[in-house]
């Protein structure tokens, strides 16, 4: 996904980017790589190369407006994000567009956080995340799903998953933090049965074992 947003000023870019990093997509920003191409050519290349774009218009940045125009002109599907606490209103020419509104770029489980909104509207509708969510149950279903996505996002960028990594990823989910911090082993297991392949995150403490689904591929 290409991300269009301000990179400074009142916009909390560091928190915004850290939250997106918890979602197992590849995120591309206009400043990801230095290029000798003209800025317009760079933006065009990024937007044409991705499956979707997300644009945060909370502060109505001129560069973001340009990127939205490019995505619209190139026929690339995009989503509008709006931080209700930062925004002073939406420009009249895009007021009719649907947008994903959020209040907090840092929080985890609250329904008004950026992470919760991104997961609900951009992640869960896809086939594999939908299968993961369907495999979960219980009162902590949303927390388990968020944690599973965070583990996947970590494995996107890293080869290993350490105890410290688990402690970091579980923060904000209130999922058995004590048990996960004291696990003797943790890792990913693959099962295959009835025409589907399942990837599970497993954590063990002595002889006790717990699992969360990470991905389920049907007819694998």
The more confidently predicted of residues 13 and 111 is: 13
Q: What is the pLDDT, as a whole number, of residue 170?
A: 79
Tally Cβ neighbours within 10 Å of residue 55: 21
- The SS3 call for residue 185 is strand
Give the predicted TM-score (pTM) of the model: 0.77
Locate the domains of the chain by residue range.
2-123, 128-218
Determine the pLDDT at residue 96: 61
Helix axes 39-49, 62-74, angle to 10 degrees: 50
- Pick the residue with more confidence: 89 or 61? 61
pLDDT for the residue 82 = 92
- End-to-end alpha-carbon separation of the chain, Å? 25
Instruction: Give the confidence band of 218 by pLDDT, cuts at 50, 70, 90.
Output: very low
Within 84-184, strands assigned E span 100-102
Whether 56 contacts 4, CB under 8 Å:
yes
Strand partners of residue 197: 192, 217
Domain 2-123 has CATH 3.40.50.10140: yes
Q: CA triplet 122, 125, 127: central angle to 5 degrees?
A: 120
pLDDT given at position 13: 93
Mean pLDDT of all residues belonging to the chain: 78
CB 49 within 8 A of CB 25: no
Quickly state the pLDDT bin for 91 (edges 50, 70, 90): low
pLDDT tens, position by position, 138-167: 777 888 888 888 888 888 888 877 777 877
Do 123 and 115 touch, CB atoms closer than 8 A? no
Digit-coded pLDDT (tens) for 167-217: 788 788 777 544 444 444 455 565 666 665 666 666 544 444 555 555 554
Name which of 54-63, 85-94, 135-144, 196-205 the model is least confident about.
196-205
Residue 184 confidence (pLDDT): 44
pLDDT band at 21 (very low <50, low <70, confident <90, very high): very high
| DSSP single-letter state for residue 113 | B
Please determine, for residue 65, whether its predicted confidence score (pLDDT) is greater than 90.
no
């Amino acid at each position: 996904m290409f991300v269009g947003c301000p990179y400074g000023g009142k916009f909390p870019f560091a928190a915004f980017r850290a939250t997106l990093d918890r979602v197992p997509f590849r995120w591309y920003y206009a400043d990801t790589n230095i290029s000798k191409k003209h800025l317009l050519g760079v933006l065009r290349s990024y937007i044409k190369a991705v499956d979707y774009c997300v644009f945060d218009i909370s502060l109505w940045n001129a560069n973001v407006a340009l990127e939205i125009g490019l995505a619209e002109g190139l026929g690339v599907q995009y989503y509008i994000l709006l931080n209700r606490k930062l925004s002073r209103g939406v420009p009249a020419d895009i007021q009719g567009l649907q947008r994903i509104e959020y209040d907090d770029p840092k929080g985890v489980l609250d329904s008004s956080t950026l992470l919760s909104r991104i997961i609900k509207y951009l992640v869960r509708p896809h086939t594999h995340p939908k299968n993961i969510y369907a495999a979960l149950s219980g009162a902590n279903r949303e927390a388990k799903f968020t944690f599973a996505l965070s583990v996947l996002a970590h494995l996107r960028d890293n080869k290993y998953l350490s105890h410290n990594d688990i402690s970091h990823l579980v923060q904000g989910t209130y999922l058995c933090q004590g048990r996960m911090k004291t696990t003797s082993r943790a890792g990913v297991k693959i099962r295959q049965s009835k025409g589907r392949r399942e990837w599970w995150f497993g954590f063990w403490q002595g002889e006790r074992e717990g699992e969360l689904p990470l991905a389920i591929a049907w007819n694998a």
